[in-house]
Structure 1
Amino acid sequence: MGSSATEGPLHRPTFSELTRVSARIGCLSFGGPAGQIALMHRELVDERRWVAEEEYLQALNLCHLLPGPEAQQLATWIGWKLHGWKGGIVAGGLFVVPGALVMLALSMLYALAADLQWFAALFLGIKAAVLAIIAQALLRIAGRALKTPLQRVLAVAAFAALFLFDAPFPLVVLAALALGALVGAQKPEWLALKPAQPLAGAGPSPWPASLKAALIWAAIWAAPMIAVLVFLGPEHVLWDIGVFFSQLAVVTFGGAYAVLAYMAQEAVSGFGWLAPGEMVDGLGLAETTPGPLIMVTQFVGYLAAFRAPDPFGPLLAGVLGAALTTWVTFAPCFLWIFAFAPWMERLQRSPALKGGLAAVTAAVVGVIANLALWFALHVLFARLSAVQAGPLRLEVPVWASFDWRAAAIAGVAALLVFALKWSIVRTLIVSAALGLLLGATS
């Protein structure tokens, strides 16, 4: 981050300026959280000097402590810092809305064209590219997160628990959080934590503002679910969608990749909303849109409602499913920021919380490794067989169903991503073209 970030006085933008720049960031926020955070830093810290460097980094650390997409929460915090709740809603909302609209359009196209041969060939390439993209994310996060022997043990343990023993994802996250909090308080060096500095002063109590925000945003979060319960009942697919993605919003630590395997497992095997290959398709679509990668949840919600539309038509049901999914995924993000922002300094100085975050981040490496292997098996092989021996549960490939086309495109995508350092969007475009070229080959 450039030296200009520490030079010159801060400027407070007008509300219209905040709105305009937030819309610009929302439309340009490609490249995952790292690219999105760098974009906001350049726009808001370096160029416009709306936020100080130290404040920006402190807020980013707070967002890492919270479930949900950290870049969207950081945008919400910046808006809150500059113009209170109104600014937070605008900045956080505009970070999501452009990508949500694009994702909705792509989901509608996908649902209508999924049976066409050319469409299937197109997504053959996209699925294969996703394997290389996830591998890149895994290596990048592992390099940043696994600094100590304990962190490496946590990553391996998380992978084994999920892949070999089919452990519930929330349980893995909570176990890592609890262990990390204990280690952070007693042996912070085991998690490469710096000693916490004492608070400079007590300051005003953050409790009133936090409680008010929590009550208001909990009601906003629940409002559409109450409407679904009253008008459609608890047996309707929209109720299942809302409950599932509300639960997911609470355990989304470590970014979208960390929960994708859990979401795929439940959406595919638990609810039967879509097929494994379609889950990979959705991730490919989410990679091409601006905004948080967790927007892939909207794709799942759309297809789930589209395929069980009563009493609506499929198109309307799909739109309602996508809207409800987006609502219950991102409303909690506003709750976390507005409730916890007043506690920022205290949270930054809590060894237990910092330890819990460090442990979860380490476990997330194992979670993403599980996701990568799960996707690879379902992309490269048309059939899998289940093997169970006591607590051990595995899906093993049927080698006769190996798809050489997907493997070849995945190899090309890996070359583009790792050797040539191509962007995700360029890699997806080339892979999709290869999918069309090889799609006619049986």
Structure 2
Amino acid sequence: MPDPTRPSLRALARYFLRLGAAGFGGPIALVGYMERAFVDEHGWVSRQELKDGLAFAQLAPGPLAAQLAIYLGWLCAGLRGATVAGIAFVGPSFVMVVALAALYVRFGGMVWLQGAFYGIGAAVIAIIARSVVKLVRTTVGPGLLLRVLCATSALVTAWTESELLWLFVGCGLVSLGAQMRWRGRAGALALVPPWLVTGLGTTASASLVGTLFVFFASAGLFVFGSGLAIVPFLHGGVVLQHHWLTERQFLDAVAVALITPGPVVITVAFIGYLVAGTLGATAAAAGVFAPVYLITVLLAPRYERWKSDPRARAFVDGVTAAATGAIAGAAVVLGRRAIVDAPTAVIAAATLALLLRFRRLPEPLVIVAAGALGIAIRAA
């Protein structure tokens, strides 16, 4: 008999469709949204279960927010829940990004995008900051050791501007060591309509679409941490190795992902579209999310079994503290890049003040207002 506290498949689909369609702020904010809904508002999972999911998402390869969404779907409704959560979460932003990519190819660039991102980027930092504070408070707790591990991870992430797997594992081992001491122990296209496989260049071949899938599957399999962590890996392959895009086109792809809701890693759909049209976008998105889905549904049952062991719990606590610190450090890195002058500083500060004063203020409304303000400032 189903657990009455768990959501139905329909409720899971409704929630993740909303989150995928209106969840701005990148992985850090998306994790905060999931915590608010699943723990605080609906009580679908316990706070400890969410902490366990965050640790699992950080240890497993792939983008953090998508990994956590699929894990929560699995936790609530098994394989069907993981499938529904993954598709519902990624679907809305995939459609939006493909539509923007089609406009980009059709009209040759988006001058207005820079102005919008100028304002939106600053507002997003405020959304992220609020989420970071709550995550630190609810996932780390009062213990001195976990606070030190969290702060260390934050400092290292902010300094290196990258999220390091060895750091998460190391923090887990430190926590485990302390616990033991305290207790004493990755087809043919002939019949496909041309517009489906036409990007910036000529009509793409079947081999190109296949190459896209394999490349982005490797990105999903070998990149750890938040969706932002995948950007350096993509830059090396898309711009430097395969020469699919120019530097400017790559930056536009990242900007589009940052101003659209849902997971930041959906930038791969924009890149895939520019290279090989709609099929290219589909191959890229399927490639990057397939490892995330498979790893979750294959490994989550085993994770659920051993996580209750005291030694495993101590290790998970250390990894969770490191993951939370890495998220805080990533917020600092993003802040340095988004708050570049007095107007962006004012936008960020004003957004944070509004969010703290009006706790139910819809973030999409804030994002739209910040984007319009950014366009106006750049046009002046």
Mapped pair 1:440 → 2:379: yes
The question of 1:407 aligning with 2:345 is answered: yes
Aligned counterpart for 1:70 among listed residues 64, 68, 75: 68
Q: Distance in 1 between matches of 2:108 and 2:119?
A: 15
**1:20-59, Cα deviation, whole Å (9 max, x unpaired):** 444323322355344445546799x78xxxxxx7x87776
Task: Quote how far apart the aligned CAs of 1:327 are.
Answer: 2.6
CA drift at 1:18: 5.5
Provide the C-alpha distance between the structure 1 equivalents of 2:220 and 2:269, rounded to a whole number of angstroms: 12
1:159 aligns to what? 154
Cross-structure match for 2:230 = 263
The residue that corresponds to 1:400 in the other structure is: none
Map of 1:241 onto structure 2: 216
Give 5+ residue unaligned stretches, structure 2.
Answer: 24-29, 58-63, 188-205, 240-244
Partner of 1:139: 133
CA distance in 1, matches of 2:69, 2:332: 26
- Please give the TM-score of this superposition, normalised by the length of structure 1: 0.62
Q: Deviations over 1:322-361 (max 9, x none)?
A: 4344334433444344334544653341223322222222
| Preserved CA contact (<8 Å) 2:175 2:315 | yes
1:335 aligned partner, one-letter code: L
Measure, in 1, the Cα distance between the counterparts of 2:115 and 2:68: 34
Corresponding position of 2:207: 231
Task: Give the CA deviation at 1:132.
Answer: 1.1
Whether the aligned pair in 2 keeps the contact of 1:37 and 1:71 (CA below 8 Å) is no
Q: Deviations over 1:228-285 (max 9, x none)?
A: xx93499x5654333122212xx33xxx4xx52x334444578646669757734543
Change (3 A) 1:12 1:75: same
Residue equivalent to 1:397: none
Q: Which residue of 2 aligns with 1:208?
A: none
Give the partner amino acid of 1:159.
A
Counterpart amino acid of 2:164? F
2:178 to 167, 178, 183: 183
* Offset, 1:129: 0.9
Q: 1:369 aligns with which of 317, 321, 328?
A: 328
Range with greater deviation from structure 2 (59-68 or 411-420) = 59-68
TM-score (norm 2): 0.70
Q: Could you say what the CA RMSD is over the residues aligned between the two structures, in angstroms?
A: 4.1
| Higher relative contact order, chain-length normalized (CA < 8 Å, sep 6+) | 2
SS of 2:329's equivalent in the other structure is helix
Residue 127 of structure 1: CA displacement? 1.2
5+ long unaligned stretches in structure 1:
1-7, 47-52, 189-221, 224-229, 382-402
Aligned length: 337
Measured at CA, do residues 335 and 183 of structure 1 come closer, stay the same or move farther in structure 2, by a change above 3 Å?
farther
Change beyond 3 A, Cα 1:63–1:296: same
Give 3-state SS (helix, strand or coil) of 2:379's partner. coil
The residue identity in structure 2 corresponding to 1:413 is: T
Residue matched to 1:298: 266
Residues 375 and 33 of structure 1: CA distance in aligned 2, closer, same or farther (over 3 Å): closer
Residue range with higher mean Cα deviation, 109-118 or 324-333: 109-118
Query: Are 2:255 and 1:281 aligned?
Result: yes
Report the AA paired with residue 244 of structure 1.
A
Query: 1:268–1:368: structure 2 CA closer, same or farther, 3 Å change rule?
Result: farther
- Conservation of the 8 A alpha-carbon contact between 2:51 and 2:139: no
Q: Which amino acid aligns with 2:13?
A: A
Listed one character per residue, the Cα deviations across residues 145-192 of structure 1 (whole Å, up to 9, x for unaligned) are 34222222223322333343566622322322333333344448xxxx
Does the CA contact (< 8 Å) of 1:154 and 1:359 recur in 2?
yes
Equivalent-residue separation in structure 1 for 2:8 and 2:297 (angstroms): 18
> 1:191 aligns to what?
none
Tell whether the 8 Å contact from 1:122 to 1:433 is kept in structure 2 after alignment.
yes
Q: 1:126 deviation in Å?
A: 0.9
* Greater per-residue helix proportion: 2
Give yes or no for contact 2:119–2:371 (8 Å, CA) kept in 1: yes
